[in-house]
Amino acid sequence: MSTLTARVDLPPSARSVPVARHLAREVLLAWDAPQDGADVELLVTELVANVVDHVGGESVLSLELEYSDGWLRIAVADGSAVRPVVGELRGDQPRGRGMQIVEAIADDWGVESVDGGKRVWFSLRPGEG
Q: What is the pLDDT of residues 9-68, one digit of tens each?
A: 999 999 999 999 999 999 999 999 999 999 999 999 999 998 888 776 777 899 999 999
Instruction: Find the DSSP H helices in 33-97.
Output: 37-54
What are residue 21's phi and psi, to 5 degrees?
-60, -45
What pTM was estimated for this model as a whole?
Answer: 0.88
pLDDT exceeds cutoff 60 at 91: no
pLDDT exceeds cutoff 60 at 119: yes
The domain spans of the chain are 4-124
- Give the pLDDT confidence score for residue 14 in this predicted structure: 92
Spell out where 79-115 has E strands: 108-114
Superfamily of domain 4-124: Histidine kinase-like ATPase, C-terminal domain (3.30.565.10)
